[in-house]
Structure formats: structure tokens, C-alpha cells
Amino acid sequence: MLRSIRITTILFALVVPARAQTLTGVVLDSVSHAPVVGARILLLDSAGTAIKALTTSSDGQFTFSIPHLGDYRLLIGRIGYPISISKPFVFSSAFTARVSLSLPSNPITLDTVTVVARQIERRMPYLVDAGFYKRRQEGFGHFLTRADIDKRDPRVLTDLLQGISGVRVSCQSGFLTCDADMRAARSMFYRGKCRPTVVIDGVVVRAGGVGSKGDLFLDQLINPFNVEVLEVYPSPAGVPVQYSGYLSPCGAILIWSRR
């Protein structure tokens, strides 16, 4: 669920006619007030399109060079924190603005990592228990590990689905309004867009089918920065049995979060 970022200091502007617009600031934990290091920040334009991305430095600082005048927002994600989005920043003239953003913490417990000598791949115990590695070995779907995700450097979750066979990504206007449908899963009962079932950490968070009003878009369900591995099944035939049948008439996307 999206949460608004609380701005804890007053936004101030300095008129600098000879310079471009700049937005600088710091991200802090709302409880400890300590800098949040490595938070991923997206700069969104007025249409909700991510135009720049960066991560906060060791002191929680960040700086964006604003390309042109207009309205902008910041979307922030970090392990242990919910996805947060700021109120609009209006750049109507050349100036430098500095803000202090406070993120509500959401602590999580990390699993114990067991390291085995001569093991080529470090396997996460919770992913072993979930059957991820076994399914990847069987090869009935598409599988992305954290290393694959980092290489793609996604801004939103649907960036990871671009180019996957049998998956089509489409977007509406506004913030985080991209979604996916499975072309290979179409049948006489599901003509047109056929949205996959979405499962996060073993829990079905959105049923598959034609969709209904009030359903969250795929990009609104989780930030890709918080994803450890991703499983994509464009056809219901390949969906793991515990999520198959009537649960996934249009295929499925299984997401396992970082711990």
C-alpha cells in the first residue's frame, strides 16, 4: 500500500536565475531520525512517469537535477519500509529546494543464512522451503533472481516483465498504473486482457482473470527493490499446483520478497 511521505522540515526556495532547478534533501527514519542509507528514489513527473532514479548516500542525502519546470513527486522504497510517495513539488522558476523526508519504519526479521563450503550458489532457506529452486530446475516458467533484477535496474515491477514471452505490459495515465496480461492464457472464457494471479510470499494478493474495479495495479503491489526472486508463468499449465486451477486461469506471477 502506498503511503505519503511526511515532510518534516519546511521547503524553501532560493531564486537562482542563472542555474537550473535542483531538488536536494535527506531521508530519515521516523523513529530514530537516523539517515536511511541506500533508499531507492524515483523522480516522477506530473504524468506519473519515472524519469530519474538514484539511491541515498551514506548520510541519507540525495540530489536531483530537475530537467524542466513543472510538478514532480518522489517515490521512495527501502527494505524494511513501505513504499512512500511525496506530495507534489512545483517548480515554476529556476530555484534550488531542499527537503527532509521521514519514512515510517516497518522492521522485519532476517532469516539465518547458512553458508556451505564449495557451494556455487547461496540458497536462501525460505526459498528452498517455498520450492523456488526446484521449480526453476524444472523450468516450466521464467525465473529472475536478485542478480538478474539488479542487472535490469527496474524502476517499477513491470519493468522486469518487459520482453518475457507470453507477457504484455500496458500502462494507463497516472502514478504506478502499469499492469500485465498473459497472451498465451487467453481462452473462450477470457477474451481481451487476461490478468495473471499475483502471489507474494505464498499469499494470493490478487486473483487472476479480467480484473475488477478497486484492484491494485501490479506496480502498486510491491517495489522491485524489495523483491528477492520472481517467477512468471504465462500459461495456467505451468503454474505450481497450489496456485493452479480456478486460482490462476490466466497464469501467475509469484513474488518472493527480500529478507
Q: Which residue ranges form the domains of the chain, and what is each CATH number?
A: 3-103 (2.60.40.10), 125-257 (2.170.130.10)
> Is the Cβ–Cβ distance between 182 and 166 less than 8 Å?
yes
pLDDT at 114 over 90: no
Q: What is the pLDDT of residue 211?
A: 64
Lookup: cell for 94: 529556476
> Is the Cβ–Cβ distance between 106 and 10 less than 8 Å?
no
Q: What is the pLDDT of residue 184?
A: 54
> Is the Cβ–Cβ distance between 140 and 238 less than 8 Å?
yes
Residues 165 and 162: their CA atoms lie apart, in Å, by 9
Lookup: cell for 35: 539517515
Q: Rounded to an integer, what is the distance from CA 64 to the centroid of its chain?
A: 20
Q: Single out the residue of 61, 94, 42 nearest to residue 225, CA to CA.
A: 42
CB atoms within 10 A of CB 201: 14
Most distant CA pair in the chain, distance: 63
Q: Of all residues in the chain, what percent carry a pLDDT higher than 70? A: 78
Residues 128 and 134: their CA atoms lie apart, in Å, by 8
pLDDT at 7 over 50: no
pLDDT at 206 over 70: yes
Residues 120 and 160: their CA atoms lie apart, in Å, by 25
Q: Which of 80-94, 103-117, 119-133 has the lowest mean pLDDT?
A: 103-117
Q: What is the pLDDT of residue 87?
A: 85
Q: What is the pLDDT of residue 174?
A: 74
**Whole-structure pTM value:** 0.56
pLDDT at 146 over 90: yes
